[in-house]
Amino acid sequence: MKKDFLFTSESLTEGHPDKLCDLISDSLVDHFLQQDPHSRIITECAVSTSIVFVAARFDSDASVDVANIARNVIEKVGYHRRTFNAKNCSIVTSLRELPPNGYRRFDERNMSDQDIEEIPVKNQETLFGFACNQTPVLMPLPIWLAHKLARRLRDVRVQKTLPYLDPDGKTQVGILYRDRSPYRIHSITLIASQVKEDEPDPQKLSEDIRAAVIEHVFQDELIKPDGQTRIFINPDGPFIGGGPALHSGLTGRKNGVDTYGGYSRQIESALSGKDPLRIDRIGAYAARYAAKNIVAAGLADACEVQLSYAIGLSRPVSVQIETFGTGKIADEELFARVDRLFDFRLAGIMKEFNLRHLPSCTPGGFYRQLAVYGHVGRTDIDLPWERIDKAPLLGSS
């Protein structure tokens, strides 16, 4: 990687059609696991003008009203337009109950190490976790700021600070790097959907968003916009309504938004819409957990952990650790410490993070909170893979 470069990352509000699909999919995962923690559930969603399509494959003792859950999500997000709303949109479902499978009927919380070893993964995947010291949460700065702007754009709409906004929104932040460290804010772009074309006018919209969103977000940041920062607010003109009435959405289409904003490698498969038996979801969380603890321990300024799994095996067939020349100890020693302290087996990850039971002990559900503003690097949710409890052990091993 070059030492001096420009990098941009984007984020989306919950009203963006792709994020709306992720929300519906993960809300279904929550409802299945709340009733039956041993559920197997894979669900995908697509939305367009006045229509929602949900496909789900499941093996569960739960009884879930798929259409009603989808409508509740749409209502909560805030879509009340004639072209798309919770009451009148058509909900089309394709539901298939999978044959009963004893594979899901184990309780990892009470399993011995040998028991965990005997639980294989059922799909093949290569997964990535990343961390760096650019922000307090050890995330790349562009995606961290893009998420903060997107959350604030949501807040000023919900709190009626800017009541003329609709739910669909997008943010992008460009950071100039010098010697691989963030140097200045190059550009900020916000796309905010409006209820009416002439309310407010473009100048008023720009002034309001600069004051209520941009200035609010950057007041506590070390690097702030300067006189040369390019700021774009609805640069193509008024964005009226937005949402599924203007552009379609699909579960899992924004992996960069869900992870590291494209700054590092990411999983190819969708993260949302899958129960914890899917290694292509929870393996990404385990990889982030390891990478974050390595950086938190001061063993590297940036770290990528790569896990590769094969069907029928409990352990990854390959574990790779890359520190991009920033490592403080030999690669062999770093790998040995990680190998001693982290369990990358399927049941081991489930046990470490309590993943099948979090929906029941989290008000409003757990996985639906991950669908917007990132599956990693969160400060508003107590995510087990964001803890740095192993950093002291890594540093002293």
Beta bridge partners of 44: 55
DSSP 288-351: HHHHHHHHHTTS-SEEEEEEEE-TT-SS-SEEEEE-TT--SS-HHHHHHHHHHH---SHHHHHH
What whole-number distance in Å separates Cα of residue 293 and Cα of residue 288?
A: 8
Structural domains of the chain in order of their starting residue, each with its CATH number: 5-11+141-242 (3.30.300.10), 17-105 (3.30.300.10), 116-134+252-396 (3.30.300.10)
Q: What is the pLDDT of residues 172-228, one digit of tens each?
A: 999 999 999 999 999 999 999 999 887 899 999 999 999 999 999 999 999 999 999
| Three-state DSSP state, 1 | coil
Given a cut of 70, whether residue 362 has pLDDT beyond it is yes
Given a cut of 80, whether residue 102 has pLDDT beyond it is no
What's the confidence (pLDDT) of residue 397? 65
At 320, list the tokens. 């790779």
Phi and psi for 164 in degrees, rounded to 5?
-85, 5
Which pTM does this prediction carry? Answer: 0.96
What's the confidence (pLDDT) of residue 130? 98
CA torsion angle 264 267 367 254 (round to 10): 70
What whole-number distance in Å separates Cα of residue 250 and Cα of residue 229?
A: 33
pLDDT band at 48 (very low <50, low <70, confident <90, very high): very high
Parallel, antiparallel or unpaired: strands 51-59 and 40-48 = antiparallel
129: DSSP letter: E
What's the confidence (pLDDT) of residue 237? 86
Percent of the chain with pLDDT over 70: 99
Given a cut of 90, whether residue 3 has pLDDT beyond it is no
